[in-house]
Amino acid sequence: MIWYKQIEQILIESEQMRKEADDSGPLTELEHWKRMSAKFNYIIEQIKGPSCKAVINVLNIAHSKLLKVQGLVF
Protein backbone atom coordinates (compact mmCIF):
# COMPACT_ATOMS: atom_id res chain seq x y z
CA MET A 1 0.00 0.00 0.00
CA ILE A 2 2.44 2.61 -1.22
CA TRP A 3 -0.35 5.18 -1.66
CA TYR A 4 -1.20 4.95 2.04
CA LYS A 5 2.35 5.95 3.03
CA GLN A 6 2.41 8.69 0.38
CA ILE A 7 -0.78 10.21 1.76
CA GLU A 8 0.60 10.04 5.27
CA GLN A 9 3.88 11.69 4.21
CA ILE A 10 2.14 14.51 2.31
CA LEU A 11 -0.11 15.25 5.28
CA ILE A 12 2.90 15.39 7.57
CA GLU A 13 4.74 17.69 5.16
CA SER A 14 1.74 19.97 4.77
CA GLU A 15 1.51 20.41 8.55
CA GLN A 16 5.18 21.23 9.03
CA MET A 17 6.40 24.77 8.64
CA ARG A 18 8.74 25.25 5.73
CA LYS A 19 12.20 26.42 6.67
CA GLU A 20 13.30 29.05 4.21
CA ALA A 21 15.76 31.90 4.22
CA ASP A 22 14.37 35.27 5.23
CA ASP A 23 15.05 36.62 1.75
CA SER A 24 12.84 34.09 -0.04
CA GLY A 25 10.17 35.76 -2.10
CA PRO A 26 6.94 35.03 -3.94
CA LEU A 27 8.63 32.81 -6.55
CA THR A 28 9.85 30.49 -3.82
CA GLU A 29 6.34 30.38 -2.38
CA LEU A 30 4.89 29.68 -5.83
CA GLU A 31 7.33 26.83 -6.44
CA HIS A 32 6.48 25.31 -3.07
CA TRP A 33 2.75 25.28 -3.85
CA LYS A 34 3.37 23.91 -7.35
CA ARG A 35 5.26 20.98 -5.79
CA MET A 36 2.52 20.44 -3.20
CA SER A 37 -0.14 20.55 -5.92
CA ALA A 38 1.72 17.96 -8.00
CA LYS A 39 2.03 15.67 -4.97
CA PHE A 40 -1.65 15.97 -4.08
CA ASN A 41 -2.69 15.39 -7.71
CA TYR A 42 -0.57 12.23 -7.82
CA ILE A 43 -2.21 10.95 -4.64
CA ILE A 44 -5.68 11.73 -6.00
CA GLU A 45 -4.90 9.69 -9.11
CA GLN A 46 -3.71 6.81 -6.91
CA ILE A 47 -6.91 6.95 -4.84
CA LYS A 48 -9.02 6.83 -8.00
CA GLY A 49 -7.21 3.66 -9.14
CA PRO A 50 -8.78 0.20 -8.96
CA SER A 51 -6.37 -1.24 -6.39
CA CYS A 52 -6.99 1.58 -3.94
CA LYS A 53 -10.74 1.37 -4.47
CA ALA A 54 -10.61 -2.37 -3.77
CA VAL A 55 -8.69 -1.84 -0.52
CA ILE A 56 -11.08 0.92 0.57
CA ASN A 57 -14.04 -1.34 -0.20
CA VAL A 58 -12.61 -4.20 1.90
CA LEU A 59 -11.80 -1.83 4.77
CA ASN A 60 -15.28 -0.34 4.52
CA ILE A 61 -16.93 -3.77 4.67
CA ALA A 62 -14.76 -4.61 7.70
CA HIS A 63 -15.72 -1.29 9.37
CA SER A 64 -12.02 -0.52 9.74
CA LYS A 65 -10.89 2.46 11.77
CA LEU A 66 -8.22 3.10 9.13
CA LEU A 67 -10.81 4.83 6.97
CA LYS A 68 -11.48 7.53 9.54
CA VAL A 69 -9.42 10.61 8.68
CA GLN A 70 -10.17 13.71 10.75
CA GLY A 71 -13.82 12.79 11.11
CA LEU A 72 -14.33 11.77 7.47
CA VAL A 73 -15.22 8.24 6.45
CA PHE A 74 -14.68 6.97 2.90
pLDDT digits (tens, 9 = 90+) for 2-48: 767 777 787 777 766 566 656 678 888 888 889 889 988 988 888 88
Asked if the structure places residue 66 within a domain, the reply is no
Q: How many helices (H) does the chain have, and how many strands (E)?
A: 3, 2
* Helix or strand (DSSP H, E) at 73: strand 72-73
Confidence (pTM) = 0.58
Asked if the structure places residue 18 within a domain, the reply is no
Domain that holds residue 50: 25-56
Asked if the structure places residue 5 within a domain, the reply is no
Asked if the structure places residue 29 within a domain, the reply is yes
Number of domains composing the chain: 1
